[in-house]
Amino acid sequence: MERTIDLTPIPNAPPYALSKSGYVYNVKTNKRMKRQWIGNSWRTNIRRPDGKTSFYFRHNDIDSAARKERFEDVLSREETKGIPGWSRYEITPYGTVWCVSAGTRGRGAGGPFIVSEFTHRNKSHVNLTNKFGVRRRHSVESLIRSAWGGPEIVEKEILKINP
């Protein structure tokens, strides 16, 4: 009895494919490759097409295009405005800050992500980084005011959150 497995080819590695169950298969030999949990994702060591070198393929890299589409769908549903002076970031009227042009490495690479908030002197703050890598701390309240207008917007949103 032969099983058929639905496989997705891995880009830049022709003899390998990823199954829906999360395993990488060598298509030429029909063997399942060993996977390892490294960092925050499953990875499999596979050979490059030249046959001489190998690299660790991250299993969630194969859906990075789908992930980007999902984030763009979320951003299209959200009402956001750009933050003046910070072209990489947008903010919602209720204070969620999005980094819309993430880099190619690190957390959130390949698609927009929500910027982490922290509390400083009993106010919510975020760290924003400009195109030169300079990081600045801003209160979420001041960012809402600069993008959406005066304090009446902030008070209206606070009333909606805490009825």
Backbone angles phi, psi at 61, to 5 degrees: -70, -25
Residue 143's nearest CA partner among 88, 79, 76, 92 is 92
Q: Are 128 and 118 in contact (CB under 8 A)?
A: no
User: Comparing 90 with 38, which gets the higher pLDDT?
Assistant: 90
What average pLDDT is seen over the chain? 78
Beta strands in the chain (DSSP E): 7-9, 16-19, 24-26, 31-32, 35-38, 41-47, 54-58, 81-83, 86-91, 97-99, 113-114, 117-120, 123-129, 135-139
How high is the pLDDT of residue 149? 83
How high is the pLDDT of residue 104? 62
Cα(159)–Cα(104) distance, integer angstroms: 38
**Window from 5-14, 35-44, 56-65, 126-135 with minimum mean pLDDT:** 56-65
Antiparallel, parallel or unpaired: β 81-83 and 86-91? antiparallel
- What residue type is assigned to position 83 of the chain? I
Q: Are 54 and 47 in contact (CB under 8 A)?
A: yes
In tens, the pLDDT along 62-80 reads 665 555 555 666 667 778 8
DSSP 116: P
Q: Where are the domains of the chain?
A: 7-62, 78-161
Query: For the whole prediction, is pTM greater than 0.85?
Result: no
How high is the pLDDT of residue 56? 84
Residue 136 has pLDDT above 90, yes or no: yes
Residue 114 has pLDDT above 70, yes or no: yes
Backbone angles phi, psi at 56, to 5 degrees: -90, 120
